Structure 1
Amino acid sequence: MNVTLIALGASTAAFRGLGALGVRRFATWRDSAAHGMAAMLLLTASAHFVPPSVTVMPTHADMVAMVPPQLPYPELLVYATGVLELAGAAGLVWPRTRRSAAACLALLFVLMFPANAYAALNEVPLAGDPATPLVPRLLEQLLYIGLMGWVAWPRGLAAKPAPKAAAAERA
């Protein structure tokens, strides 16, 4: 199984377990999932900065190899996406910034998918492991995008009417 999915699932479950023990920050699955995604992003973002001498996990060079050749400055793009993942992780843990961070991360996951597709279709290895096929990569990206939608819009996309507007509609 994919290490990032294990990190996401295990950290979300651990946070929810803390919530069950009374830690209010993790009182709901939604809050726990936001923190679980933040933990996973710390893991994935670290790969954007790991030097080639480290072989246990994906390295910066692995990430650069995933960038489609049509895109300019692949090394800079890898550093930038790593920084954006770290910023998104930080944003997810603060309730005031959670919605914005989740929306921005969903967009980032969409924008990074071409690199995943390129890596799958061109069999770019990651940390010496064979390339992950396209369909599992797509499903994983859709999971992350969906999770960010669930975190960002807990009541769906429709906004609740303001109390005065709701009272005026009943009158």
Structure 2
Amino acid sequence: MVTPIIILFLLSSPLAISFIYSKFSDTPLNVTKYACWGLGIAFIFFFIGHFIQAEGMVEMLPSWIPFRLALVYVTGLIELLIGVALFVPRYQSLAARLAIVVFIIFFPANIYAALNGVGLGGHQWGAVYLLIRGPLQIILIAWAYFLCVKSHHHLIQPADKVLTD
């Protein structure tokens, strides 16, 4: 059940580190840049999981789905492409939008795995795991939308640099 904590740590670390750095260096904080980097790191983590835990991921899919192992690898490569694109300013907004689509499209596999007690990443807990996974998906979607899409290129100035009337 450590995986959601790892995901949240990977997601938030670049933004947290850059926030601390901006406070000590008195430089503006580019929220979008570092939020996208965190999401990118999370997606690269997801990609790695698709290759290291490929057989477990296959079990997360119903048996009637053809080419399950190939599908796990292909979706892992999609996650890698999204992850890398989140580091490139030109593609960050598009990649974040694709990340949201991936979170929505892949969620039924998590529901299936939880309802069938698949022994991967907490799914063996059964339906109760969805009480963790569901909110995590909402956090990831909100992060992608509000920090990487909606507020694209948002800078926060240090407090002493803010102009007052």
Which residue is 2:144 aligned to?
148
- Residue 14 (str. 1) matches residue 17 (str. 2): yes
Distance 1:12 1:125, change over 3 A: farther
Residue identity in the other structure for 2:111: A
Give the gaps of 5 or more residues in structure 2.
Answer: 153-165
CA RMSD between the two structures: 2.5
Residue identity in the other structure for 2:45: L
- Which aligned segments of 4 or more residues in structure 1 are displaced greater than 3 angstroms? 15-22, 127-132
Q: Deviations over 1:36-58 (max 9, x none)?
A: 111111112101112xxxxxxxx
Which residue is 2:130 aligned to?
134
Q: Deviations over 1:104-153 (max 9, x none)?
A: 11101110001011111111111688447112111111111111112112
Q: Secondary structure at the match of 1:71?
A: coil
- Residue 64 (str. 1) matches residue 58 (str. 2): yes
Q: Secondary structure at the match of 2:85?
A: helix
Give the gaps of 5 or more residues in structure 1.
Answer: 51-58, 156-171
Kept after mapping to 1: 8 A contact 2:122/2:129:
no
Shift of 1:74: 1.1
CA distance in 2, matches of 1:137, 1:127: 10
Which residue is 1:33 aligned to?
35
Q: Deviations over 1:32-88 (max 9, x none)?
A: 1110111111112101112xxxxxxxx111111111334222111111111111100
Distance 1:69 1:31, change over 3 A: same
Kept after mapping to 2: 8 A contact 1:65/1:124:
yes
TM-score calculated relative to the size of structure 2: 0.76
